[in-house]
Amino acid sequence: MIPVRGLCGARVGVLGLGRSGLSAARALEAGGAEPMLWDDGAAARARAEAEGFASTDLRDDVGRLDLLVVSPGIPHLYPAPNPVIAAAMRAGVPVDNDIGLFFRSLATPEWDRMDRPPRVIAITGSNGKSTTSALVHHLLSHAGRAAQLAGNIGRGALDIDPPGDGGVVVLELSSYQTDLARALTPDVAVFTNLSPDHLDRHGGMGGYFAAKARLFTEGGPDRAVIGVDQVEGRFLAMRLAEAPADDRVIRVSTAPPEGPGWTVSAVEGVLEERRKGRKVSMIDLRGIPGLPGAHNHQNAAHAFAACRALGLGPREIGAGLASFPGLPHRSQLVAEIGGVRFVNDSKATNVDAARQALRAFPRIRWIVGGIEPEGGIAPLADEAGAVAKAYLIGHAAERMAIQIAAVPQEVCGDLATAVARAAEEAEPGDTVLLAPAAKSFDQFTDFEKRGEAFVEAVRALPGRSDR
């Protein structure tokens, strides 16, 4: 645990008692603060009370607080502030989250006696940030560096062990987390890409990008790894670099690099690093089972750049990339049955993530659907050249079917039926791909449960041979 520093004796409200809220409450108490907890859900309050915390209805007690700590799922501005947050703003009470507490509390006087003070790599973006974060953690561990993975993946940021000499903390951060944190001071910050998501929470794309950009503008990382395939990334890199060759900014792209700066590109499956216009290393990514497709090659390029920023050599990074097993629900090879591969990409919850998944395999039986995304899935019709047939599921299955009417299709309704029908019709060489392009809340509590249901449905098929 990372005890919260600088709040000893303070009354701190904790709103939302999920993983991050309870983690914050424990760390606040360990640092001598007086946490006052509230969640609108009775079950969440009961879990907190089982740990010995008392519930306090913060709707009536905001004026007593020195600070309010908010869980990421609770809106603080758009589409409307939670009533407790609105009351805190009226009363002038500062609002923070567990990520802000983490950054204000991580460094301790003991760091002055370490040969290599701990470092923090923080990774954000719309798609690929979980795989990139897990990959950075894997590469560091493979190279013998003590590393911990936390934030929006793995453990809560305040739940980790205090890092020791040479330790590295790898944080995956969502826009909800970067938007509200009052302190953001990573040593290395990574921006993967941007595509429409969570727009209701940020008042549109401008607010969404601004939330991501705070990771780079609030504290000023020593090094910034920026995906520059989109205008937002190029704009961010321009804002951070003092000159074209400023190597504090590492530009990552899926196109041949331009300019004299430090670049890492992944073009047609080959990763190439250049500095001052000269190639310094190259890795062939095409045969790595845990990193299929151009989107995972992009993830590998970001992870490579982040680890290079910490001083790892290209050869040790390359060895780590080759042994990466992949993540559940992200281009996860579940099984191969009769020459047909079954791939779980349940994390493809928006159109751009599904687009990347559809580009990764040659002949696809596509399972798609859920809660219809803003703007629908019509853009994916242009990406369906490799799709032999689509099998639509979920609340919006019929509406989404109309949007991809040119694609051979069948409305199946539920996931188990879709898996069974796809498996029945698949031929050797096909890939049955779950890439929903939609959120899961119509039929599942989250994308993980949807992915687990896919795995269970595949394992129930006759003749399976798990890989």
**pLDDT tens-digit profile of 209-240?**
999 999 999 878 999 999 999 999 999 999 99
CA-to-CA distance for 205 and 184, rounded, in angstroms?
Answer: 21
Model confidence at 173, pLDDT cuts 50, 70, 90, reads very high
Residues of each annotated binding site: 125-131
SS3 281: strand
**Cα 199 to Cα 77, 195, 217, 245, distances in angstroms:** 12, 10, 21, 34
Secondary structure (DSSP) of 172-219:
E--HHHHHH-S----SEEEE----S-SHHHHTSHHHHHHHHHHHHHSS
Between helix 231-240 and helix 205-217 the angle, nearest 10°, is 30
Query: Which of the four CATH numbers 3.10.20.30, 3.40.50.720, 3.30.565.10, 1.10.630.10 does domain 11-96 have?
Result: 3.40.50.720
Quick one: tokens of 57? 């209805």
Fold for 332-459, please state it: Protein-Tyrosine Phosphatase; Chain A (3.90.190)
Residues of each annotated binding site for ATP: 125-131
- Classify burial at 452, counting beta carbons within 10 Å of its beta carbon; exposed 0-12, middle 13-18, buried 19 or more: middle
pTM: 0.85
Q: Tokens 């503008």 map to which residue? A: 217
Per residue in 436-467, pLDDT (tens digit) is 999 998 999 999 999 999 999 999 998 654 44
Per residue in 113-147, pLDDT (tens digit) is 999 999 999 999 998 899 999 999 999 999 999 99
Domain-wise residue ranges, the chain: 11-96, 103-322, 332-459
33 phi and psi angles, rounded to 5 deg: -80, 165
For residue 343, list its beta bridge partners. Answer: 333, 433
CA-to-CA distance for 175 and 184, rounded, in angstroms?
Answer: 13
CATH number of 103-322: 3.40.1190.10
CA-to-CA distance for 148 and 33, rounded, in angstroms?
Answer: 26
